[in-house]
Amino acid sequence: MPAIHLADTGRRGSCKAPLPPLSEPLDVDTQAFDEVIGQARAPVLVDFWADWRGPCKMSAPEVATLAREMAGKALVLKVDTERNPDLAQRFRIQSIPNFMVFRNGTETLQRAGVVPGAEMRRWIERTA
């Protein structure tokens, strides 16, 4: 699905079955990150994380829940800083988990550390 439509509800081409908006965190590489951030019409929360880091594992359920709750209103991306060090460097990520919110391709917020899902939701709602 094109990045511009990830938050949209649509229909499948041949069978016309409903196609719901993205409702789970999308693990992205640099190319997909740039595409989604550049095209998304909805706010985008990005979770910069690494599998080996305990606090990142603690945040993962909150991030997944947020993606389900905000489906159709926002997108949630996950960037593994071990596999995508270029993105971590571009945004000067020095500690993880680190969260960023983008709206219309522009960074509106960056916060490091474990936070509750309700706080992440407030970040997104402030940018909508």
DSSP-derived letter for residue 17 is -
Report whether pLDDT(76) > 70.
yes
Q: Is residue 5 part of a domain?
A: no
Backbone angles phi, psi at 86, to 5 degrees: -65, -40
How many domains are there within the chain? 1
- The residue ranges of DSSP E strands in the chain, in sequence order, are 10-11, 18-19, 26-27, 44-49, 75-80, 98-103, 106-112
Report whether pLDDT(8) > 80.
no
CATH classification of the domain holding 72: 3.40.30.10
Single pTM value for the model: 0.90
- Among the listed residues 43, 33, 40, the one whose alpha carbon sits nearest the alpha carbon of residue 84: 33
User: For residue 47, what are the domain limits?
Assistant: 23-127
* Separation CA 81–CA 52 (nearest Å): 11
pLDDT by residue (tens digit) across 88-108?
999 999 999 999 999 999 999
Please name the residue that has the structure tokens 């190319």: 31
